[in-house]
């Protein structure tokens, strides 16, 4: 089972290149960065999807694709990626080029975590109806796959349409970087099986119990789908449960802080990993 971390790379915390080198030196497989272009202000304290107060890191992050490139350039083996990219907030022609560019410039080490977002005002600011966001995401990904895999690509859908075009570079990974579908909603497995290579949920109640359904449906469809688990606590019991359930990679969140606090969190997660494997 692989290991890795998620990290809100903010301008006032440990830099992403320094963190990436640290994660690679410690022998972990991957480092993923989330995305929020902005957080709209409404006069009320911003709140997360569960109603809790939203941490300030949400509106202090670097651009996620730029961050991936910086982290990838600072390492040689580490896989870097988005965890997640809010694809409905990007035009697919531009996003396809950026993803392909990062993948080539990192030597094929990019992972494309995707999601439709939960913050309705943020989504609306990008000209997208939140009620249609999953349909928009599906079409954006389909359009990008056309661009990545065809010399002359075109796509015509309800939410995005363009005629024949040329766009290079193509991704280093064939046919394109792995698509990690985030979320834990009732229809997330449908999305994973439709256009994903990996399910990327946050650990929580009932998540592990859904893995057998995903595996069964993937086998019926002739697909191989992996599970990478985010938000895994530094708890040997949870890590062991993930391993037994068939999770391919466990990933913990690191604090948006200085080196000392980041290393403290990494130490705790690594100790839990060692406890599971009797080290």
Predicted confidence (pLDDT) per residue in 87-126, tens digit: 999 999 999 999 999 999 999 999 999 999 999 999 999 9
- Under DSSP, the state recorded for 88 is G
* Residue 43: per-residue pLDDT: 76
Cis peptide before 175 (omega within 30 of 0): yes
What tokens appear for 253 in the block? Answer: 């969140």
Predicted confidence (pLDDT) per residue in 147-165, tens digit: 999 999 999 999 999 999 9
Contact 122, 38 (CB under 8 A): yes
Contact 102, 72 (CB under 8 A): yes
Find the Cα–Cα–Cα–Cα dihedral 257, 117, 70, 249, rounded to 10°: 80
* Residue 199: per-residue pLDDT: 98
d(CA 158, CA 41): 31
Other C-beta atoms lying within 10 Å of the C-beta of residue 164: 10
The H or E element containing residue 110 is strand 110-115
Predicted confidence (pLDDT) per residue in 14-57, tens digit: 999 999 999 999 999 999 999 999 999 987 778 887 888 999 99
* Residue 65: per-residue pLDDT: 98
d(CA 77, CA 179): 19
* Residue 44: per-residue pLDDT: 78
Look at residue 260 and give its three-state secondary structure: helix
Other C-beta atoms lying within 10 Å of the C-beta of residue 45: 8
pLDDT category of residue 277 using cuts at 50, 70 and 90: confident
pLDDT category of residue 211 using cuts at 50, 70 and 90: very high
d(CA 210, CA 215): 9
d(CA 49, CA 76): 36
Look at residue 130 and give its three-state secondary structure: helix
d(CA 45, CA 256): 20
| Strand positions, DSSP E, 124-225 | 153-156, 161-165, 179-182, 198-200
Beta-ladder partners of 252: 5
Other C-beta atoms lying within 10 Å of the C-beta of residue 163: 9
Going by DSSP bridges, is the β-strand pair 2-7/249-254 parallel, antiparallel, or unpaired?
A: parallel
What tokens appear for 146 in the block? Answer: 């056309």
Q: Rounded mean pLDDT of the chain?
A: 96
Output b/e per residue, 118-149; b: 16+ Cβ within 10 A.
ebeebbeebebebeebbebbbbbbebbbbbbe
Contacts 24+ apart (CB under 8 A), 43-50: 49/118, 49/119
What tokens appear for 140 in the block? Answer: 């954006």
Contact 47, 57 (CB under 8 A): no
Q: What is the mean pLDDT of residues 242-269?
A: 98
């Amino acid at each position: 089972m692989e290991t890795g971390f998620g990290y809100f790379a903010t301008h006032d915390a440990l830099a992403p290149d320094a963190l990436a080198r640290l994660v690679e030196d410690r022998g972990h497989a991957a480092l993923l960065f989330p995305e929020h272009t902005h957080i709209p202000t409404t006069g009320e304290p911003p709140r997360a999807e569960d109603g809790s107060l939203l941490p300030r890191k949400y509106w202090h992050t670097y651009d996620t694709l730029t961050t991936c490139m910086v982290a990838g350039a600072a390492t040689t083996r580490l896989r870097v990626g988005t965890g997640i990219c809010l694809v409905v907030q990007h035009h697919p022609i531009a996003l396809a080029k950026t993803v392909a560019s990062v993948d080539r410039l990192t030597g094929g080490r990019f992972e494309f975590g995707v999601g439709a977002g939960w913050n309705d005002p943020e989504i609306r600011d990008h000209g997208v109806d939140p009620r249609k966001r999953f349909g928009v995401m599906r079409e954006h990904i389909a359009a990008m796959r056309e661009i990545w895999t065809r010399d002359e690509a075109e796509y015509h859908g309800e939410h995005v349409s363009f005629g024949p075009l040329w766009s290079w570079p193509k991704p280093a990974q064939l046919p394109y970087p792995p698509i990690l579908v985030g979320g834990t909603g009732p229809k997330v497995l449908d999305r994973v099986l439709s256009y994903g290579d990996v399910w990327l949920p946050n650990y929580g109640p009932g998540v592990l119990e859904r893995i057998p359904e995903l595996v069964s449906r993937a086998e019926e469809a002739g697909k191989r789908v992996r599970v990478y688990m985010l938000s895994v606590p530094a708890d040997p019991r949870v890590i062991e449960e993930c391993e037994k359930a068939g999770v391919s990679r466990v990933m913990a969140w690191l604090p948006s802080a200085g080196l000392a606090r980041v290393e403290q969190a990494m130490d705790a997660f690594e100790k839990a990993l060692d406890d599971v494997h009797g080290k």
